[in-house]
Amino acid sequence: MIHIVFQPKDAEALKASFLLDGALQGDVLVIADDFAVGPLAGLYSSEGIEARKNWWRGVLAGGDIDGAVDNDSVADDNRTVAELKQRLQNDPAEICWIWAAQNKHDVSGYYWLMSQLKDFQGRIFILYLNNLPFISEKGHIFYPTWLFEIPAREFLKARNLAMPITLSEFEIDPDEWTRLSQEDKGVRILEGGKKLSQYSYDYYDEELKKFITGDWIKANKLIHQFLGKAKQTTGDAYLLWRLKQLITAGELDAQGELKGMKDFEIKAKAGVSVEQTATS
């Protein structure tokens, strides 16, 4: 059995459940990219793949993980899928479980992945935790947004959710990926179920500005506050990039080097009220 998840923390949580039930045991593959942000056009072509890499290089430039696109710290998703398909071709008995929680990161990754696996219909299963209750470590009912939030023992219950991706889904869901790719927007937001809406790259900017006052604040502290309080969030690398874009555009004051999150501070533009900053 092959398991696929969409971030390393999910892989760790899933592997912990193997200790409780050997029937779940299998290889766990991680799709590393965050397809909820950035360009999607032509991602099944070498040109589209390189265009997305170039975009990520720009986003990460000078930041805390500058260079990650071109070193071994991040898995090559296209190679991962190529190897997955080869394994499925070599072993007709092999099956694949795709685990996804109800968040834009997982759902965007699902569309990118499943659109490449139609040849293996009947052997590809989806476990989508769509608004389903689980029991927390403290015994409380909760609705997980992320796979890693589920205690190891709850994965034993979650496995019952495994459903084969139907031929109809293999026909319809890739159309959703095509729509997302053709709209050429930078941010995807989950509206419910598997429905994604798209917005421009500055989608998070106004919410970010709400955490900026007339006092200096370190970029890392600002991003931490945003991630802890905002309703819609994204990766810290993307947020760091957006802060730099706002500073470069002259919308915020900054001091220090515009590099990593701990290297500079931000405050509202001198002479501009906090309310103006948040609504400009």
Assess whether pLDDT exceeds 80 at residue 74. Answer: no
- Of 63 and 166, more confident: 166
Same domain, 157 and 273: no
> Residue 73's pLDDT band (boundaries 50, 70, 90)?
low
Single-letter amino acid, residue 280: S
Assess whether pLDDT exceeds 70 at residue 274. Answer: no
> Residue 280's pLDDT band (boundaries 50, 70, 90)?
very low
Same domain, 50 and 94: yes
Assess whether pLDDT exceeds 90 at residue 69. Answer: no
Supply the pLDDT for residue 249. 93
What average pLDDT does the structure give for the chain? 91
Same domain, 139 and 220: no
Assess whether pLDDT exceeds 60 at residue 279. Answer: no
* Per-residue model confidence as pLDDT tens digits over 200-237: 999 999 999 999 999 999 999 999 999 999 999 999 99
Compute the average pLDDT of residues 73-94: 92
Single-letter amino acid, residue 59: V
Assess whether pLDDT exceeds 70 at residue 72. Answer: no
Same domain, 108 and 244: no
Which residue range is the domain that position 222 belongs to? 205-279
* Per-residue model confidence as pLDDT tens digits over 105-158: 999 999 999 999 999 999 999 999 887 888 888 888 989 899 999 998 888 888
Same domain, 19 and 121: yes
- 185 is a domain residue: no
Same domain, 165 and 55: yes
**Are 268 and 252 within 8 A, CB to CB?**
yes
CB burial of 83-107 (b: ≥16 within 10 Å; e: otherwise) equals ebeeebeeeeebbbbbbbbbbbbbb
Compute the average pLDDT of residues 97-103: 95
Same domain, 175 and 217: no
CATH number of the domain encompassing residue 266: 1.10.10
Same domain, 91 and 229: no
Same domain, 165 and 248: no
- 190 is a domain residue: no
* Per-residue model confidence as pLDDT tens digits over 175-189: 999 999 999 899 999
Same domain, 210 and 173: no
Q: Tally the residues of the chain.
A: 280
- 186 is a domain residue: no
Alpha helices in the chain (DSSP H): 8-18, 46-60, 77-90, 104-114, 152-158, 167-183, 205-209, 219-229, 236-248, 274-279
Compute the average pLDDT of residues 170-175: 94
Q: Report how far apart the first and last C-alpha atoms of the chain are (Å, whole number).
A: 52
Compute the average pLDDT of residues 56-84: 87
- Of 94 and 270, more confident: 94
Quote the percentage of the chain above a pLDDT of 70. 95
Supply the pLDDT for residue 272. 56
Assess whether pLDDT exceeds 70 at residue 275. Answer: no
> Residue 271's pLDDT band (boundaries 50, 70, 90)?
low
CA 262, 75, 156 angle in degrees (round to 5)?
100
Domain count, the chain: 2
* Per-residue model confidence as pLDDT tens digits over 5-47: 999 999 999 999 888 877 788 999 999 999 999 999 999 999 9
